């Protein structure tokens, strides 16, 4: 039978599978057909798993035996920096192009228990360094809404896979906006959970104090359901927050106080139609009974400067393990230093090398106090700003991205312009709070309608507020 993938949700697919409207094999095949038709052009997937139908057949057995969960038979895409045992995990880098994962990431183990079908691994900016998925060693991913544009990054492949109808849901990772920004640019929902709420065990580390795994979906409810499965404390992750420190469940208000950092919205670089769409969405929410309140976050303007010191410093440290000795690419030279230089020079792309050098510089003797220590001090001020703001509001709202999707190659030779695209998303990772991007309309560029996203930010471990208000935005 022909399955209507366009309007399909996880809940609806679950009900259909239970009722026997179609099988998990048929559902998986429907997505494989879309991938076969579209992926050559979009390049969302680096690899489609040959055993996807076999996984689906096993899911059908779970359903027949009465052991199905909400996710049994649901086709997922997975970002290429999240480990699945026995499968290639390259982080879209030549350095790890032949690396096979030896264990499952904790989030993958949880989804496997639920009977999820993993369709394949998705393209990304190399080692998650970038905001456009142009930095992949295996070619850029294109935006399904306009193939001349980027899908965002670094989780652009996962966002594009869901957007093009090539997966019902996907996993990505977010270090400075790498889930929310591509979700916004591709017109899907993306969640960056509270730091420490989802295990990072089995995620290739980029910025260890910033990284967080999160879901993509077509609806807020789908993303909520995925989050509720993958969250939880994990003894394998030292940054995982114990359950008793996460606070108690709260009764979610139907009408919220929404904080808006007006001073932050007057900065240069925000497209007029993005700002207009944001204001219109706020007005509609106000019409539904929510209260809009101005908040002050005085140190938010220093977020990018702080982030682009802390993140490269942590990245350079984390990527030191890829040295051509233990695993991954290895190019032999005349000396041990030669081995390192040749391997890292050939294995890492330009953006990765740039960030490694920047990180090594800010951590070096004589500059550590001048740069890294000051950046961490600013980070503490940003965290304090959020804590104070949340004492008077339930959530804070901004646009997700200052622009719609930009052209492929448009910012490739201007790193600063690329970094500025993270202006609304980076502060959230520095503060460790959760945020969600929900589609809020379109902006027109060259006659094409490109998606825009509305970002909602909540206090630590208050994701339910995001889901509640996000659902309201979907129904505007």
Residues assigned a catalytic role: 79, 154, 178
Map residue 134 onto helix, strand or coil: coil
**DSSP track, 164-232:** TTS-SEEEEEESSSTTHHHHHHHTSEEEEPPTTSB--TTBPPSSTTT-EEEEEESSHHHHHHHHHHHBS
* Cα–Cα distance measured from residue 451 to residue 444, given in angstroms and rounded to the nearest whole number: 9
Map residue 14 onto helix, strand or coil: helix
Q: Which residue has the tokens 């509609």?
A: 284
Q: Which two tokens stand for residue 157?
A: 């492949």
**DSSP track, 391-438:** TT-SEEEEES-SSSPPBTTSSTT-HHHHHHTTTTTHHHHHHT--EEEE
Q: Which residue has the tokens 């997975």?
A: 78
Task: Count CB atoms within 10 A of the CB of residue 264.
Answer: 20
- How many residues are listed for the chain in this entry? 476
Handedness of CA 63, 69, 72, 74 (dihedral sign): positive
* Cα–Cα distance measured from residue 377 to residue 384, given in angstroms and rounded to the nearest whole number: 11
Tell me if 47 sits within 8 A of 94, measured CB to CB. no
Tell me if 57 sits within 8 A of 92, measured CB to CB. no
> 448-457 and 435-445: which strand pairing?
antiparallel
Q: Which two tokens stand for residue 322?
A: 């890829």
Q: Which two tokens stand for residue 351?
A: 């953006």
């Amino acid at each position: 039978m022909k399955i209507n993938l366009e309007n399909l949700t996880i809940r609806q697919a679950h009900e259909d599978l239970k009722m026997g409207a179609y099988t998990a094999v048929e559902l998986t095949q429907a997505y494989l057909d879309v991938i076969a038709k579209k992926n050559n052009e979009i390049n969302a997937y680096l690899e489609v798993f040959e055993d996807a139908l076999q996984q689906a057949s096993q899911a059908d057995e779970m359903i027949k035996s009465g052991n199905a969960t909400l996710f049994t038979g649901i086709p997922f895409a997975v970002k290429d920096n999240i480990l699945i045992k026995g499968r290639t995990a390259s982080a879209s880098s030549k350095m790890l192009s032949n690396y096979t994962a030896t264990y499952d990431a904790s989030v993958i183990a949880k989804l496997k228990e639920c009977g999820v079908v993993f369709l394949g691994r998705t393209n990304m900016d190399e080692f998650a360094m970038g905001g456009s998925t142009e930095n992949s060693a295996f070619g850029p991913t294109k935006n399904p809404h306009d193939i001349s544009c980027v899908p965002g990054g670094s989780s652009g492949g996962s966002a594009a896979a869901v957007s093009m109808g090539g997966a019902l849901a996907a996993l990505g990772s977010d270090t400075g906006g790498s889930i929310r920004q591509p979700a916004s640019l591709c017109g899907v929902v993306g969640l960056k959970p509270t730091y420490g709420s989802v295990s990072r065990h089995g995620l290739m580390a980029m910025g260890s104090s910033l990284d967080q795994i999160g879901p993509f979906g077509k609806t807020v409810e789908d993303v909520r359901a995925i989050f509720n499965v993958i969250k939880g404390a994990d003894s394998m992750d030292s940054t995982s927050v114990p359950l008793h420190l996460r606070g108690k469940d709260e009764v979610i208000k139907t009408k919220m106080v929404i904080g808006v950092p007006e001073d932050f919205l007057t900065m240069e670089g925000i497209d007029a139609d993005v700002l207009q769409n944001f204001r219109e969405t706020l007005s509609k929410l106000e019409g539904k009974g929510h209260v809009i309140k101005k908040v002050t976050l005085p140190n938010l303007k220093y977020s990018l400067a702080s982030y682009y010191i802390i993140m490269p410093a942590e990245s350079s440290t984390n990527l030191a393990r890829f040295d051509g000795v233990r695993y991954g690419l290895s190019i032999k030279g005349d000396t041990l230093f030669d081995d390192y230089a040749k391997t890292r020079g050939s294995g890492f792309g330009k953006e990765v090398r740039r960030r490694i050098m920047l990180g090594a510089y800010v951590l070096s003797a004589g500059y550590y106090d001048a740069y890294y220590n000051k950046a961490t001090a600013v980070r503490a001020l940003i965290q304090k700003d959020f804590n104070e703001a949340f004492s008077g509001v339930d959530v804070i709202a901004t646009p997700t991205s200052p622009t719609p999707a930009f052209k492929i190659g448009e910012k490739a030779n201007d790193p600063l312009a690329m970094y500025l695209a993270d202006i609304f998303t980076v502060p959230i990772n520095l503060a460790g709070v959760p945020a969600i991007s929900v589609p809020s309309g379109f902006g027109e560029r060259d006659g094409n309608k490109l998606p825009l996203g509305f970002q909602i930010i909540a206090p630590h471990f208050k994701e339910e507020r995001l889901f509640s208000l996000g659902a309201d935005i979907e129904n505007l």
